[in-house]
């Protein structure tokens, strides 16, 4: 796996980052504006306009930080904000942040525009105008060290931890060695692996942070009376959260862990990072991490340009803003659901490929998708998105050592 990576290109942004897509994000700022925003996206009729949003009315610092990070994501070229008008979300601050990033931004307030139909018409007109500008924007050369890549598992079974997940780990090792920032998560699915990860930390202080983050997740799930373990995991052959954790851990590869991120924090340089997705305080608005797409959104808020999604039982979800690459762990699932999958890692179990060979295929798929080739979920039109309430406290310097 020592071969040089093939060249890639992207879209230059004013903050120095580069994106691999150039989409218009239509963002609703309260659930009451969701329908209008969705109709504006539907009117666009293509893959270049994506719907995101925050459904809550009560203000939340986490949601505000997430929305700002997503609206200024490198894959986003322009933003339309859709507000009802009386929600608590600070639409002006979000618009100012997007404008400061150099992107076109426009705000529609349904109560000011005259209702549903007029807002849809004006929103669709603005999106049409800005799309013409974005489609004329050229791609520019991009280095592997400018890539930010996330990974998550969903619909896991007994094959995930012995084929797809370690193959992604091999791909992470190679991409990280080329200078890319690679982000794995979630702390709730790493219970039992905290001391193993701490031994890989770049410093003893960071190692202690990793242990504390996983212990926090274990306390949270104990208080909830549930963890990141679904009936489908058990039906697929997994027996305990510790067994699932070992499989999830395999996605991290073998490199040194250089930092711990919270949602919305960008990795300051290349290397391997752990993303803590479990809120710091007791959950007050429902269970945390209600589905895989909430975690994909948090990876994107950290700058992930695409996400490697491993699955054994089979998941069909994609994502708004950033492509999802599916790595299928189970050969039977691949045969049933090949149209939804990008990489057949089940060949490892059948003796038809090695971990290194599949790891190399994943790396090449990352480069192809970065250059504009649609992932399977993109081609099928998947643009799922979820954002809920959470709370995180500021962290000390040990999480991101110099």
Report pLDDT digits (tens) over 256-285.
999 999 999 999 999 999 999 988 876 655
- Rounded-to-integer distance, Cα 214 and Cα 193, Å: 8
Domains in the chain: boundaries: 11-135, 144-399
Q: Per-residue pLDDT for 1 more than 60?
A: no
Give the Cα-Cα-Cα angle 42, 101, 398 (nearest 5 degrees).
110
What's the pLDDT score for residue 235? 62
Give the Cα-Cα-Cα angle 90, 92, 93 (nearest 5 degrees).
70
Contacts of 46 (CB under 8 A, 6+ apart): none
What's the pLDDT score for residue 74? 98
Q: Report the chain's mean pLDDT, rounded to a whole number.
A: 92
For 173, what's the count of Cα atoms within 13 Å in the CB-facing half-sphere? 19
Cβ 236 vs Cβ 313: under 8 Å: yes
What's the pLDDT score for residue 279? 86
- Compare 284 and 325 and report the one with higher pLDDT: 325
For 75-127, write each residue's pLDDT tens digit.
Answer: 999 999 999 999 999 999 999 999 999 999 999 999 999 999 999 999 999 99
What's the pLDDT score for residue 2? 46
Is domain 11-135 classified as CATH 3.40.50.1100? no
Cβ 297 vs Cβ 70: under 8 Å: yes
Contacts of 324 (CB under 8 A, 6+ apart): 296, 306, 307, 309, 317, 318, 375, 377, 378, 382
What's the pLDDT score for residue 187? 85
- Rounded-to-integer distance, Cα 256 and Cα 298, Å: 22
- Rounded-to-integer distance, Cα 236 and Cα 344, Å: 18
- Rounded-to-integer distance, Cα 137 and Cα 129, Å: 14
Q: Per-residue pLDDT for 335 more than 60?
A: yes
- The pLDDT of 141-157, averaged and rounded, is 92
pTM (2 decimals)? Answer: 0.94
């Amino acid at each position: 796996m020592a071969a040089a990576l093939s060249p890639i290109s992207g879209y230059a942004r004013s903050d120095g980052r580069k994106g691999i897509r150039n989409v218009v994000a239509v963002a609703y700022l309260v659930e009451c504006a969701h329908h209008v925003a969705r109709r504006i996206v539907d009117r666009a009729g293509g893959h270049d306009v994506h719907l995101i949003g925050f459904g809550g009315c009560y203000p939340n610092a986490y949601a505000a930080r997430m929305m700002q990070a997503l609206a200024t994501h490198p894959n986003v070229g322009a933003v339309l904000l859709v507000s009802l008008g009386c929600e608590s979300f600070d639409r002006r601050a979000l618009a100012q942040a997007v404008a400061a990033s150099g992107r076109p931004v426009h705000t529609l307030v349904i109560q000011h525009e005259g209702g549903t139909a007029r807002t849809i018409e004006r929103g669709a007109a603005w999106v049409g105008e800005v799309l013409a500008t974005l489609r004329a924007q050229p791609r520019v050369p991009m280095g592997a060290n400018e890539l930010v890549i996330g990974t998550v598992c969903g619909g896991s079974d007994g094959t995930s931890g012995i084929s797809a997940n370690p193959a992604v780990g091999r791909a992470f090792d190679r991409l990280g060695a080329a200078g890319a920032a690679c982000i794995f998560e979630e702390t709730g699915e790493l219970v039992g692996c905290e001391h193993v990860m701490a031994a890989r930390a770049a410093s003893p202080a960071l190692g202690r942070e990793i242990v504390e983050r996983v212990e926090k997740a274990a306390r949270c799930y104990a208080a909830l009376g549930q963890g990141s373990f679904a009936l489908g995991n058990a039906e697929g052959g997994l027996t305990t959260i510790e067994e699932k954790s070992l499989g999830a851990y395999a996605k991290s590869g073998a490199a040194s862990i250089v930092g711990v991120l919270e949602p919305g924090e960008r990795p300051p340089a290349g290397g391997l990072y752990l993303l803590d997705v479990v809120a710091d305080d007791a959950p007050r608005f429902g269970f945390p991490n209600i589905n895989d797409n909430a975690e994909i959104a948090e990876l994107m808020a950290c700058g992930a340009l695409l996400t490697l999604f491993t699955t054994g039982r089979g998941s069909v979800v994609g994502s708004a803003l950033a492509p999802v690459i599916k790595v299928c762990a189970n050969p039977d699932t691949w045969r049933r659901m090949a149209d939804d999958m990008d990489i057949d890692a089940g060949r490892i179990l059948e003796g038809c490929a090695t971990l290194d060979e599949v790891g190399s295929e994943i790396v090449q798929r990352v480069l192809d998708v970065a250059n504009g080739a649609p992932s399977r979920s993109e081609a099928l039109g998947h643009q799922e998105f979820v954002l809920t309430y959470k709370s995180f406290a500021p962290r000390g310097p040990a999480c991101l050592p110099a």
